[in-house]
Chain A
């Protein structure tokens, strides 16, 4: 399978703490993307990191990419209750004609007030 796999499956933290989620994948990629999904809603794109990038920031989000280990991490700093959601990584394989995304099963993050 080309799908990314997130780790852990579930994470529960207090408001103000940092949350780190990891993603591993199997093939060479063009880019890797992180999405958030609130309960009962569609996915929302958070951040895209290209294969030649190692780190990217967006607000309280920090994404790293290690292509030698075929892994990525998403760090949410100073978490809030509103960050409670499922987080998915999705990869785009290098040379893919469609440029389609392969999703993992996600990490369920719960942030307690």
Chain B
């Protein structure tokens, strides 16, 4: 019973295209996160947000950008996709408070040709 939704689930697209990965949650969570995960590897935090109009970069350098205009919506954009962006992108959210469990979407598997 997912309360956090990511679209598309899969995307295969050519180099140079602009891409937006959508993430929406219905739980009213203030905190939202984007992770990048390669097969068999750990999750790397690339962006996070404390709330509306708050966005920060995570540990892993990423050419993507994010916005948080509404509490429930946290889209990620790649202005010009490259093969090095091929990966799985996971969106998550959590309530306010230190170290609260995070709720994850099912991810977008992105392949750049």
Contact across chains for B103 and A45 when beta carbons are under 8 A apart? yes
The A/B interface has a contact count, at CB < 8 Å, of: 59
Q: Does B102 contact A (CB under 8 A)?
A: yes
Please give, as numbers and ranges, the residues of chain A lying within 8 Å of B43 by CB-CB distance: 43, 88, 103
| Secondary structure type dominating chain B contacts | loop
Map CB proximity to A onto B75-113 as digits: 1 under 8 Å, 0 otherwise: 000000000000000101000011111111111010000
Please judge, given known A-B contacts A41-B106, A42-B105, A98-B48, whether A3 and B42 are in contact too, CB under 8 Å.
yes
Other-chain contact of B90, A42, A92, A96 (Cβ < 8 Å) = A42
Please give, as numbers and ranges, the residues of chain A lying within 8 Å of B28 by CB-CB distance: none
CB distance from A52 to the nearest CB of B (A): 13
Expressed in whole angstroms, the Cα–Cα distance for A18 and B84 within the complex equals 40
Expressed in whole angstroms, the Cα–Cα distance for A100 and B97 within the complex equals 10
Please judge, given known A-B contacts A42-B107, A98-B48, whether A105 and B101 are in contact too, CB under 8 Å.
no
Expressed in whole angstroms, the Cα–Cα distance for A101 and B59 within the complex equals 11
Number of interface residues of A (CB under 8 A): 24
Contact across chains for A103 and B42 when beta carbons are under 8 A apart? yes
Q: Does A28 contact B (CB under 8 A)?
A: no
- In the complex, what residue of chain B is closest to A45 when comparing beta carbons? B101
Please give, as numbers and ranges, the residues of chain B lying within 8 Å of A99 by CB-CB distance: 97-100
- In the complex, what residue of chain A is closest to B100 when comparing beta carbons? A99
Binding site for A on B (CB under 8 A): 2, 4, 6, 33, 40-43, 45, 48, 50, 58, 90, 92, 97-107, 109
Return 8 A-B CB contacts under 8 Å, by A number.
Answer: A42-B2, A43-B90, A48-B101, A88-B43, A101-B102, A103-B42, A105-B40, A105-B41
Closest 4 CB pairs of A and B: A92-B99, A42-B104, A99-B98, A45-B101
